């Protein structure tokens, strides 16, 4: 394909998606995203997971303390609490009552992440005068402004803009030797405002596979009209005109396309296939179009690129279908249907992604946070669905997350979920604690206000609450886990042969628990417990009949939790 023929197919300022491994994405070219690496003091990565359409937070995090009111407000879509094979999953029995929530029954994988200290939830996230419009609401969340703001840039673009140094000018100096990769990669076919910088135009190209992507740019040739355009640049007569700027930008696309194509292809190959099995299909009945997990290929590709040495700083992945006005649930079972399948896809794919990162040695580098333009109404409608609302939960995943629930359950006597936290509080605190951005830069250059601990302009005299959502350094998750899962000391200890000992333990989930006594060689000598336990404290009586005097190990397994205690049996 001749370059002129190629350019005929793209208008100025068009955005064409790149595809690697069959996944469309957009590599930002002239953007501060391409200039940050030299200035970054860490190799940390932020994944933004867009729940497109407005997620129903009340069927995601079900308020247990107000369950009766929850059920009365949305009886035709309410997730069962008891007496059902599919019922809500209690998240954490150690939380105060006003934070007690249950997860949708198809979020078992997120429950496992939480129990291992790798998930957090922020309740009631919104902004004042919530717009309630998909398009305007999405723009507000992406631009990092308020309901009355109309910024032409996005908060991620501004974050990256204030980080980059003067490494050169586009297109001559980029990709830079110290930054061979685009720092922003967005999956999908749209250019999102979140990555825009003032006066900036993101660019990208499209193919269905990395081999074809690289092959395309090899076929691009320079202009044939050498007398008119001998250097592949606009004629001098139009220098510094708007036309010159647009055409010069487009003509620079060829070189950047070549550089990024070859680089990303090599990174993709270097990453290698994953050893982790990602979920592909929703295991139950689901409406047509959402049976297959759309996050699996996106997250699998992100992990592979990072494993191959990609220095990309910010990724955006997305899953749609959350605009559930009708048929959010099946009329015969509120735990089934469109929303159930979507929550399963998010939950199962995020668990596989975290497992993949851990297997590749990348888990310390990556944190994921969700975004959705609004929540849904507290009451359901007559079409087994929910209408546009205001506040909703943000979900955060990663090894460095501060696990727990931030905020309390919403007031279900209202029409909408009221705002507890401005969405800019969440992202500003993540920039500070995870991306290690200076607080003054966040306040002055990114969110145009101190959303970390400054005065709330909507409520003079009140101040934004500093949020602890991510940990810079991890000394271990044992304290969080041991507060929820626990194996106590056997007693009496030492114990006499042919008698009994008590073994106390605690679990934070309805979970299969196996407790056995192992001899000094690690062989199983006595199976004490092998069945499902409900959340809470337990104490079982172990019969030592038939065991010889000596040293034994009492070992407990509950999901991924495993602990051991010593037991001495004497004559």
Q: Is the pLDDT of residue 260 over 80?
A: no
User: What mean pLDDT comes out for the span 334-351?
Assistant: 97
Q: Does position 212 have pLDDT exceeding 60, yes or no?
A: no
Q: Judge whether residue 331 has pLDDT over 70.
A: yes
Tell me, what's the pLDDT at 248? 65
Q: How confident is the model at residue 445 (pLDDT cuts 50, 70, 90)?
A: very high
Q: Is the model more confident about 205 or about 96?
A: 96
Quick one: which H or E segment has residue 359? helix 338-359
Distance, CA of 5 to CA of 63 (rounded, Å): 58
Question: What is the rounded distance in angstroms from the CA atom of residue 26 to the CA atom of residue 32?
Answer: 15
CB-CB contact of 56 with 388 (8 Å): no
Distance, CA of 223 to CA of 3 (rounded, Å) = 6
Contact 365, 306 (CB under 8 A): yes
Q: Is the pLDDT of residue 506 over 80?
A: yes
What tokens were used for 221? 């040739």
Interval 35-90: pLDDT, tens: 343 344 578 999 999 999 999 999 999 999 999 999 999 999 999 998 888 999 99
Least confident segment among 97-106, 193-202, 367-376: 193-202
Peptide bond into 97 cis (omega under 30): no
Question: Span 258-271, mean pLDDT?
Answer: 82
For the residues of 111-174, what is the DSSP string, one character each?
HHHHHTT-EEEEEEEE-TT----HHHHHHHHHHT--TT---SS-HHHHHHHTT------TTTT-
List, edge to edge, every strand of the sheet that includes 61-63: 61-63, 101-103, 89-90
Residue partners of 91: CB distance under 8 A and separation at least 6: 61, 100, 101, 102, 103, 111, 114, 405
| Within this chain, domains 21-198+263-446 and 485-570 share the same CATH topology | no
Residue pair 539/529 in contact (Cβ under 8 Å)? The answer is no
> Which of these ranges, 155-164, 219-228, 263-272, 393-402, has the smallest mean pLDDT?
219-228
Mean pLDDT of 264-292: 91
What's the CA gap between 246 and 364, in Å, rounded?
Answer: 41
Distance in angstroms (rounded) separating the CA atoms of residues 256 and 517: 63
Distance between CA atoms of residues 86 and 53, nearest Å:
25
Q: What percent of the chain has pLDDT over 90?
A: 64
The span from the CA of 392 to the CA of 371, in Å, is 10
pLDDT at 412 over 80: yes
CATH 3.30.2320 fits 21-198+263-446, yes or no: no
Query: Is the separation of the CB atoms in 293 and 282 below 8 Å?
Result: yes
More confident residue, 450 or 13: 450
Q: What residues contact 514, with CB distance under 8 A and at least 6 apart?
A: 527, 529, 530, 556, 557, 558
Neighbours of 338 (CB within 10 A): 22
Q: Is the pLDDT score of 186 beyond 80?
A: yes
CA-CA-CA-CA dihedral for 333, 334, 339, 345, to nearest 10: -60
The pLDDT of residue 157 is 84
Q: In residues, how long is the chain?
A: 571
Query: Does 119 score more than 90 pLDDT?
Result: yes
pLDDT of residue 187: 82
Tokens representing 370 are 């969700």
pLDDT of residue 218 exceeding 70? no
Question: Could you tell me the CATH superfamily of domain 485-570?
Answer: Macroglobulin (MG2) domain (2.60.40.1930)
Domain spans, the chain: 21-198+263-446, 485-570
C-alpha distance from residue 212 to each of 22, 123, 209, 218, 303 (Å): 10, 44, 5, 10, 21
Task: Please give the mean pLDDT across all residues of the chain.
Answer: 84
- Confidence label for 479 from pLDDT (cuts 50, 70 and 90): confident
The number of angstroms, rounded, from the C-alpha of 429 to the middle of its chain's C-alpha atoms is 16
Top pLDDT among 354 and 220 is at: 354
Q: Is pLDDT above 60 for 16?
A: no
Average pLDDT over residues 291-318: 92
Mean pLDDT of 366-389: 98
């Amino acid at each position: 394909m001749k370059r002129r023929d190629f350019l005929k197919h793209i208008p100025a300022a068009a955005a064409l998606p790149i595809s690697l491994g069959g996944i469309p994405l957009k590599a930002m070219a002239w953007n501060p995203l391409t200039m940050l690496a030299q200035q970054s003091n860490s190799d940390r990565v932020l994944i933004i997971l867009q729940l497109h359409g407005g997620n129903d937070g009340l069927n995601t995090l079900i308020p247990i303390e107000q369950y009766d009111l929850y059920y009365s407000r949305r009886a035709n879509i309410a997730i069962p609490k008891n007496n059902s094979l599919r019922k809500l999953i209690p998240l954490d029995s150690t939380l105060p009552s006003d934070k007690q929530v249950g997860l949708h029954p198809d979020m078992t994988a997120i429950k496992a992440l939480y129990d291992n200290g790798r998930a957090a939830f922020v309740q009631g996230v919104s902004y004042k005068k919530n717009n309630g419009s998909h398009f305007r609401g999405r723009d507000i969340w992406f631009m990092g402004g308020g309901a009355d703001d109309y910024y032409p840039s996005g908060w991620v673009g501004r974050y990256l803009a204030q980080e980059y140094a003067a490494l050169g000018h586009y297109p001559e100096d980029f990709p830079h030797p110290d930054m061979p990769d685009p720092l922003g990669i967005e999956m999908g076919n749209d250019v999102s405002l979140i990555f825009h910088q003032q006066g900036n135009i993101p660019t990208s190209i499209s193919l269905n596979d990395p081999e074809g992507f690289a092959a395309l740019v090899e076929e691009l040739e320079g202009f044939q009209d050498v007398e008119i355009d001998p250097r592949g640049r606009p004629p001098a007569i139009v220098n510094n005109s708007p036309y010159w700027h647009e055409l010069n930008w487009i003509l620079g696309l060829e070189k950047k396309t070549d550089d990024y194509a070859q680089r990303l292809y090599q990174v993709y190959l270097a990453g290698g296939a994953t050893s982790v099995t990602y979920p592909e299909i929703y295991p139950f009945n689901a409406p047509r179009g959402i049976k297959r997990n759309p996050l699996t290929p996106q997250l699998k590709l992100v992990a592979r690129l990072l494993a191959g040495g990609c220095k990309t700083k910010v990724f955006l992945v997305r899953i749609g279908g959350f605009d559930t006005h009708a048929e959010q649930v099946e009329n015969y079972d509120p735990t089934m249907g469109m929303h159930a399948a979507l929550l399963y896809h998010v939950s199962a794919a995020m668990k596989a992604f975290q497992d993949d990162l851990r297997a590749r040695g990348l888990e310390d580098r990556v944190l994921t946070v969700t975004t959705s333009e609004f929540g849904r109404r507290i009451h359901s409608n007559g079409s087994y669905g929910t209408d546009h609302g205001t506040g909703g939960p943000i979900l955060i995943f990663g090894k460095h997350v501060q696990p727990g629930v931030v905020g309390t359950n919403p007031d279900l006597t209202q029409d909408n979920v009221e705002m507890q936290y401005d969405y800019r509080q969440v992202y500003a605190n993540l920039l500070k604690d995870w991306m290690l951005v200076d607080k003054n830069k966040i306040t002055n250059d990114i969110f145009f206000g101190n959303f970390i601990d400054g005065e709330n302009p909507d409520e003079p005299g009140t101040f934004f609450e500093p949020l602890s959502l991510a940990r810079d350094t991890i000394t271990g998750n044992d304290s969080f886990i041991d507060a929820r899962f626990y194996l106590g000391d056997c007693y009496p200890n030492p114990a006499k042969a042919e008698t009994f000992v008590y073994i106390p333990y605690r679990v934070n989930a309805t979970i299969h628990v196996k407790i056995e006594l192992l001899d000094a060689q690690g062989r199983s000598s006595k199976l004490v417990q092998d069945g499902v336990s409900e959340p809470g404290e337990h104490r079982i009586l172990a019969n030592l009949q038939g065991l010889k005097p000596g040293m034994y190990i009492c070992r407990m397994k509950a999901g991924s939790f495993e602990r051991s205690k010593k037991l001495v049996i004497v004559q």
